[in-house]
Amino acid sequence: MQRITILGATGSIGVSTLDVIARHPDRYSVYALSAHGRVQELAAQCAQFRPARAVVGSAAAADQLAALLRAMNVDTQVEWGEAALCAIACAAEVDGVMAAIVGAAGLAPTLAAARAGKKVMLANKEALVMSGQLFMDAVQDSGATLLPIDSEHNAIFQCLPAGYRRVPEAAGVSKILLTASGGPFLKRAVETLDSVTPDEACKHPKWVMGRKISVDSATMMNKGLEVIEAHWLFGAPAAQIEVVIHPQSVIHSMVSYNDGSVLAELGNPDMRTPIAHALAYPERIASGVAQLDLTQVGTLQFEQPDFARFPCLALAYDALRAGGTAPALLNAANEVAVQAFLDERIGFRQIDRVIAAVMDELPHGAASSIEAVMAQDGLARACAGRVIATMDRPLLAAAEA
Ligand code: NAD
Ligand code: MG
């Protein structure tokens, strides 16, 4: 029986994880669940899965959750705040941690799980993008098992030889091919991108996800973050990581070998597949995902990404090449810009301009410690805030005002 903590249980990945766990009560039990705000949903999850502990984001949310649980006779212990998140990630009772908090907020507990030598199932790509080498060192030093949940990286992991040691040449790997759906604006006239609404940006053609990652998919910053994620997970330099647009999202990514072979992982686009893969690794369990019928799919298409349409992709490659804390600056600026877009304070095409301005203005340094990375994260957030304050509000918001 494996005891699992889910960080970000009420999100899209958290809910899919509980869906898979519920199919295998003989294999998995839930040790702890966390959520930031959605207390009602978390209470219902506690009633169903009976975790020992639940963590929320504030004292008020904790009071509310405790009252809901009392009324349902659920004896889950309620805690709140970052220290509690770290505690449920590294507790001795825990075997595996699903890291599914969105954004930099997930770094501390995800790192705590890695340092404690847990099986870390990593959905929270921002944590790895920010801390890169420091995170991989923590995994190495503690003997933690790191399993990617991001569908692309999970696919690549499956296409690499068992025991792969993060040296592409040693395994005959010539390239990592990251597939991208291209998001909702792949074909939309570029001049109309200035006026798209948050809801349009969040309407992903293939995946149902949280709002932050949905906007990242529309700008293709998501793919940019994934290029950086692939660099750290698989040890490949920027030049060996290529993005390929594949609108059907049936091939989740590929590995190209020096003998001309290309290995791919295919499946219906449903995150329960990589989640089940990581939960059971190296075994296989049912995930609830329907088998892929290629005759129904019919055609698989591929094209090169348009870096002019998607400047965020180029910004991410630049940050990876620059190294040090540049990816942390990129990530922080992006988080602030995406939130401003979701709040209708800036337009869609201003997201990349905010990030570019922050990257221009702030010098990056060495990512020597988590404290150094967090300090750069803070500077980038403040800088992005200043840049946004000087921008004209988008047509969309102005028209409504
Ligand atoms: P989501 O917005 O649906 O859920 C986020 C979860 O994090 C929620 O449980 C929320 O309560 C919690 N949370 C938010 N802010 C927090 C904070 N400040 N402190 C603590 N907890 C907080 O997001 P999601 O789509 O499930 O994505 C989660 C992570 O997984 C992201 O890093 C995303 O990039 C990654 N990911 C998601 C998908 C997907 O299909 N949804 C695919 C690949 C990777
Ligand atoms: Mg992905």
Nearest ligand, CA of residue 9?
A: 1
- The CATH class given to the 321-400 domain equals mainly alpha
pLDDT tens column, 245-298: 999 999 999 999 999 999 999 999 999 999 999 999 999 999 999 999 999 999
Question: In sequence order, what E strands does 123-250 have?
Answer: 145-148, 173-180, 241-245
User: Annotation-wise, does 10 bind a ligand?
Assistant: yes
Three-class secondary structure assignment of 262-281 = EEEEECCCCCHHHHHHHHHC
Strand 77-80, strand 53-56: pairing: parallel
Atom of ligand 1 at shortest range from CA of 214: 25
The secondary structure of 185-252 as a DSSP string is TSSS-GGGGGG--HHHHH--SS----HHHHHHHHHTHHHHHHHHHHHHHH---GGGEEEEE-TT--EE
What is the rounded distance in angstroms from the CA atom of residue 280 to the CA atom of residue 263?
Answer: 22
Smallest CA separation from ligand 1 atom 40, residue:
209
DSSP state of 30: E
Q: Does the pLDDT at position 392 exceed 70? A: yes
Residue (of 246, 117, 99) closest to 179 by Cα position: 246
Ligand closest to 155 (CA) is 2
Rounded to 5°, the CA angle 341-13-56 comes to 80
pLDDT in tens, 122-131: 999 999 999 9
- Residue whose CB lies within 8 A of the most ligand 1 atoms, among 10, 12, 150, 211, for a mutation test: 12
Task: Spell out where 18-76 has E strands.
Answer: 28-34, 53-56
Tell me the two tokens of residue 70.
């009392």
Q: Quote the percentage of the chain above a pLDDT of 70.
A: 98
- 157 Cα to the center of ligand 2, angstroms: 13
Was 11 annotated as part of a binding site? yes
Instruction: Evaluate if residue 181 carries a pLDDT over 50.
Output: yes
| Atom 31 of ligand 1: nearest residue by CA position | 102
Query: Would you say 16 is a known binding-site residue?
Result: no
pLDDT at position 204, please? 85
Angstrom distance (rounded) from CA 224 to CA 219: 9
Copy the structure tokens of residue 22: 């519920």
Q: What is the pLDDT of residue 85?
A: 98
Nearest CA owner, ligand 1 atom 18 = 105
Which residue is associated with the tokens 């309620």?
A: 78
Domain extents for the chain?
Answer: 2-149, 157-297, 321-400
Report whether 206 belongs to an annotated binding site: no
Is this complex's ipTM strictly greater than 0.95?
A: yes
Residues whose beta carbon lies within 6 Å of some atom of ligand 1: 8-14, 35-38, 57, 100-102, 105, 123-126, 150, 207, 209-210, 212-213, 271
Residue 253, SS3? strand
pLDDT of residue 207: 81
Ligand 2 centroid–CA 249 distance in Å is 10
- The pairing of beta strand 119-122 with beta strand 145-148: parallel
Asked if residue 334 belongs to a known ligand binding site, the reply is: no
pLDDT for the residue 401: 40
Whole-angstrom distance, CA of residue 384 vs CA of residue 319: 16
Q: pTM of the full predicted structure?
A: 0.97
Ligand 1 mean position to 282 CA, how many Å?
Answer: 25
**Ligand 1 atom showing the smallest separation from residue 216 Cα:** 34
Q: Ligand nearest 152 Cα, by number?
A: 2
Level-2 CATH architecture, domain 2-149 = 3-Layer(aba) Sandwich (3.40)
